[in-house]
Amino acid sequence: MPSKAHVFNYILKKIKMSLELIKEIRQITGAGMSDVNKALKEADGDRDKAIEILRKRGQKIAAKKSDREVKEGVIAFEKKDNKVAVVALACETDFVAKNEDFQTAVQGLAAKLMELGKEEFTTWASKYIQDELIVKIGENLQLAKFDIYEGEVVGIYLHSNNKNASVLVLKGGSEELAKDIAMHATAMAPKYIKPEDVPSEVIEKEKEIYTEQLKKEGKPEEVIAKILEGKVNKFYTEVCLIKQAYVKDDKKSIEKLLEENNASVEDFGQYSL
């Protein structure tokens, strides 16, 4: 018959092994201790089965949380040579957005986007966020926006709050110039690069609104036509990047800044959470 000391040591060893297993599963899934305990009991102590149970619960958690509003989040970039991957992941609270583990996870998503490319990343990220991140973070998480930019010169600007950012691709110029204009885009949030990019239906709608306003002011038809041209040009300075006044020097337009540096904008993306 085993001694009491032998039995006691055996129990201690089992407890230690159990705690190590719980710790290992927590590191893999990010789930809480009580959730891991429940999963292990349900899996009769089987590690892999317990992890599978937790991941399936992650899907259930995602379904339960999916209707909860996401008002916060983090934007992260991964840059390699003249290529940039950007990911914006939304969450529910500022507390989570400021959490180092969450920010690291979003940075990991950007790196994965760079590695996989957009098409493969879409499928991978959906499963990863649902099965693992939501289990670990405990909030509704939504992939708000992601993209890959590539070109001759690529500039990135990420505001200190990690919630506002822009990427700018230039032909000509320098990375410093691209970063400066990306900072401008983050502050001014243009919708288009140049007037030619604005859809005709958007212009027609603006003209319709301006015409109604001018008619109410009692302007005659022949005057309205002349005023409309000025109104539309003013609209371009609000929504088109190159027509906006440069935030670092409002006496100069972005268009003029580009001319001075023999550069042109090939692409841009503006992100906000």
pLDDT tens profile 242-251: 999 999 999 9
Q: CB–CB of 68/266 below 8 Å?
A: no
**What tokens does 44 get?**
């009769």
State if pTM tops 0.75.
no
Confidence (pLDDT) at 64: 62
Cα distances from 243 to residues 76, 179, 193, 196, in angstroms, run: 28, 18, 8, 12
Does residue 14 register a pLDDT over 70? no
* Per-residue pLDDT band at 78 (split at 50, 70, 90): very high
Among the ranges given (69-83, 107-121, 183-197), the one the predictor scored with the smallest mean pLDDT: 69-83
Among the ranges given (1-10, 22-31, 34-43, 144-153), the one the predictor scored with the smallest mean pLDDT: 1-10
Q: Which residue has the higher pLDDT, 117 or 40?
A: 117
What is the percentage of the chain residues whose pLDDT exceeds 70?
A: 86
Q: CB–CB of 239/190 below 8 Å?
A: yes
Q: What is the mean pLDDT of residues 119-132?
A: 90
**C-alpha span between 269 and 86 (Å, rounded):** 9
* Per-residue pLDDT band at 66 (split at 50, 70, 90): low
